[in-house]
């Protein structure tokens, strides 16, 4: 086993593959915990006698916890180091799942959701800092593309996991078993992961002031939020949409939706090469536009064309994240990289995985899910043109 000292100098992705894959595994369960309620909303609505709008607000509770701890994540990672911070993150998220699984009523469910969000909020700044510190700059795109396999594999697994277990138990069995599995992987990772012994940078006023004066920072907040919406926000409501307006059973919706997540995983395999070829800024603009257009089509199409679009829709959003993460990593000096993420992600996540799903759920309750998807997709398409105004260093010594 390599000592932690061997990770202090950045190296190629091949030399850092083991710790990278373990981080990806924790990222998988981080997203799994935040997404597992998506295919279970209808059974939960029935048990607690709540509406589509009320169940879609579950994700606002997660976003609230997420925003709270990601703002504080710099202080936590400064005290615990990045490695211990991601372990704490995973423990909190798994505990939140167990709280929901045993909740006697909605207040306890809401508490569990906030705990999941609090755990999830500690993860991204530290995990991204660990990856960009241990891997050389030339391999960032490839490493970040591999890292993005975690959430997409989770979103592939969640509906299939639910479809496989629902015939044998209720929604509580699914959530509790997920919490136990996440806890086991966390304990294993604590023993095996040695990278990440650097400390995070607390969000000092000077660091914050430097970032908020950069137009690129504000542009990336919006684009990151819309990118998250295209992958996670839309994802959270599609199973309910397929059942209530698409004419599918819950089992059919979860199976179709789960299999559809194979496409973004395939897209990620080529993401590093694609973004390296066309550039970060251009890649961001193109992928956000395509993501928005595909969301509009999800709202417009029916039958077989709708199923095809559900397969294609997440691919463009998947391509955005390696470019988007690299762009945020290039905003400001490297020592404040985790501060940039800890400031950007709360607002972006609240928009993409909280406000937009809540809006689509509200539209599903008072008008139709279709109108909600079309509106969200149109705003995403229009916002893609903001990429033109991004000023980032595409390569060392070169600014596009």
Q: DSSP of 242-300, one letter per residue?
A: HHHTS---HHHHHHHHHHHTHHHHHHHHTHHHHHHHH-HHHHHHHHHHHHHHHHHHHHH
pLDDT of residue 357: 86
- State the residue for tokens 């395509």: 290
DSSP at 167: G
pLDDT (0 to 100) of residue 335: 61
- 333 confidence band (pLDDT: 50, 70, 90): low
Predicted confidence at residue 182, as pLDDT, reads 93
User: Which token pair is 99?
Assistant: 């709280």
What DSSP designation does 233 have? Answer: I
- Per-residue pLDDT band for 108 (boundaries 50, 70, 90) equals very high
Stronger pLDDT, 369 or 169, i.e. the higher one: 369
Q: Is the pLDDT of residue 287 over 70?
A: yes
Between 178-192, 258-272, 301-315, the lowest mean confidence (pLDDT) is in: 258-272
From residue 43, give the alpha-carbon distance in Å to each of 240, 246, 365.
10, 18, 16
Shortest CA distance to 286 belongs to which of 392, 390, 139, 155? Answer: 390
Determine the pLDDT at residue 385: 92
- Cβ neighbours of 344 (radius 10 Å): 23
Outline where the chain has alpha helix (H). 17-35, 41-48, 52-56, 58-101, 106-134, 140-147, 149-165, 171-192, 205-212, 215-228, 234-244, 250-260, 262-269, 271-278, 280-300, 303-329, 337-349, 356-366, 369-383
Match 């404040």 to its residue by tokens: 336
pLDDT confidence bin for 269, thresholds 50/70/90:
low
> What pLDDT shows up at residue 74?
81
Residue 10: exposed, middle, or buried by beta-carbon count in 10 A (0-12, 13-18, 19+)?
middle
Indicate the DSSP class of residue 203. -
Domain boundaries along the sequence of the chain: 4-389
Q: Cα(115)–Cα(64) distance, rounded to whole angstroms? A: 10
DSSP single-letter state for residue 198: S
Does the global pTM surpass 0.85? no
Six-digit token pair at 211? 């970032």
- CB 4 within 8 Å of CB 197: yes
Angle at 12 between CA 9 and CA 14, to 5 degrees: 125
Mean pLDDT of the chain: 83
Choice between 282 and 235, residue whose per-residue pLDDT is larger? 282
pLDDT at 114 over 90: yes
- Name the band, by pLDDT with cuts 50, 70 and 90, for residue 270: low
Between 278 and 368, where is the model more confident?
368
The band of 4, judged by pLDDT with boundaries at 50, 70 and 90, is: very low
Give the position of tokens 């915990």. Answer: 33
Q: Which range, of 104-118, 147-161, 215-229, 316-330, averages the lowest pLDDT?
A: 316-330
More confident call, 32 vs 253: 32
pLDDT range class, residue 126, cuts 50, 70, 90 = confident
Give pLDDT tens digits for 45-81.
888 988 877 887 888 899 889 888 888 888 888 888 8
At 318 the pLDDT is 74
Give the pLDDT confidence score for residue 195 in this predicted structure.
74
Q: Reduced to 3 states, what is the DSSP secondary structure of residue 396?
A: coil
Q: Is the pLDDT of residue 394 over 70?
A: no
Per-residue confidence (pLDDT) for residue 2, from 0 to 100: 46
The Cα 385–Cα 366 span in angstroms is: 31
Q: In the chain, pLDDT over 70 holds for what percent of residues?
A: 91
Q: Which CATH architecture has domain 4-389?
A: Up-down Bundle (1.20)
pLDDT at 27 over 50: yes
| CB proximity list for 271: less than 8 A, separation 6 or greater | 141, 145, 148, 318, 319, 321, 322, 323
pLDDT at 5: 45
Average pLDDT (113-129) is: 89
- Which of 89-103, 145-159, 233-247, 351-365 has the highest mean predicted lDDT (pLDDT)? 89-103
Q: Regarding predicted confidence, which is higher, 3 or 50?
A: 50
The confidence score (pLDDT) of residue 261 equals 74
């Amino acid at each position: 086993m390599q000592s932690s000292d061997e990770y202090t100098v950045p190296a190629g992705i091949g030399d850092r593959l083991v710790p990278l894959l373990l981080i990806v595994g924790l990222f998988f369960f981080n997203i799994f915990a935040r997404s597992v309620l998506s295919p279970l909303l209808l059974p939960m609505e029935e048990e607690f006698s709540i509406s589509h709008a009320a169940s879609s607000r579950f994700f606002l509770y997660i976003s609230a916890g997420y925003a709270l701890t990601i703002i504080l994540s710099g202080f936590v990672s400064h005290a615990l180091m990045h490695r211990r911070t991601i372990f704490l993150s995973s423990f909190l998220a798994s505990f939140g799942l167990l709280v929901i699984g045993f909740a006697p009523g909605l207040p306890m469910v809401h508490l569990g959701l906030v705990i999941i969000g609090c755990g999830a909020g500690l993860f991204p700044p530290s995990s991204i800092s660990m990856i960009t510190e241990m891997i050389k700059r030339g391999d960032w795109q490839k490493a970040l593309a591999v890292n993005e396999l975690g959430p997409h594999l989770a979103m592939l697994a969640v509906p299939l996991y639910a479809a496989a277990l629902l015939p044998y138990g209720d929604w509580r069995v699914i959530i509790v078993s997920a919490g136990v599995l996440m806890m086991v992987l966390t304990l294993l990772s604590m023993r095996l992961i040695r990278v990440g012994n650097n400390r995070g940078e607390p969000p000092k006023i000077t660091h914050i002031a430097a970032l908020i004066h950069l137009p690129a920072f504000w542009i990336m907040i919006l684009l990151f939020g819309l990118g998250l919406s295209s992958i996670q926000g839309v994802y959270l409501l599609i199973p309910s949409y397929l059942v209530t307006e698409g004419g599918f059973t819950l089992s059919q919706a979860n199976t179709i939706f789960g299999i559809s997540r194979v496409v973004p995983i395939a897209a990620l395999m080529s993401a590093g090469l694609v973004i390296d070829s066309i550039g970060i800024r251009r890649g961001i603009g193109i992928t956000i536009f395509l993501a928005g257009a595909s969301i509009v089509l999800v709202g417009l199409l029916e039958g077989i064309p709708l199923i095809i679009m559900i397969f294609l829709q997440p691919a463009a959003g998947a391509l955005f994240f390696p470019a988007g993460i690299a762009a945020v990593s290039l905003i400001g000096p490297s020592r404040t990289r985790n501060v940039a993420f800890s400031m950007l992600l709360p607002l972006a996540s609240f928009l993409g995985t909280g406000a937009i799903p809540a809006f689509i759920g509200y539209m599903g309750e008072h008008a139709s899910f279709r109108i909600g998807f079309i509106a969200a997709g149109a705003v995403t398409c229009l916002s893609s043109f903001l990429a033109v105004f991004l000023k980032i260093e595409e390569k060392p010594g070169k600014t596009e």
